[in-house]
Amino acid sequence: MKEGKLSSALMERYGIEEKDSVGEVLWHSLNESSEIDIYDMRFGDTVIRNLKESDLVEGHAEEHKRDDKHGAQEINDSKRRSRTKE
């Protein structure tokens, strides 16, 4: 997830206005199963740490998109490095 909308209950708790309700992910955890448990996000000028996915409005989260400039490669790309030693 790259961004997400904060639930209305948490918007009220943290004093976040509707115009800032969609926040940017600053950091996220990653467990051994490659699942994200915790997010740190910025909503306007407010940073909220340790958010769970359940704290965000369902259906609004924007997923990561493929970004070739950061090295993502297709599995059969001839430029892709092998992890095995030859």
Alpha helices in the chain (DSSP H): 8-14
Grouping H, G, I as helix, E, B as strand and the rest as coil, residue 30 is coil
pLDDT at res. 60: 54
Per-residue pLDDT of the chain (86 residues; tens, 9 = 90+): 788 999 999 999 999 999 999 999 999 998 888 888 899 999 999 999 999 988 998 655 444 454 455 455 455 666 555 544 44
Grouping H, G, I as helix, E, B as strand and the rest as coil, residue 60 is coil
pLDDT at res. 84: 47
Residue 4: other Cβ atoms inside 10 A: 23
pLDDT at res. 85: 46
Is the entire prediction scored with pTM above 0.85?
Answer: no
Rounded Cα distance, 21 and 24, in Å: 10
pLDDT at res. 76: 62
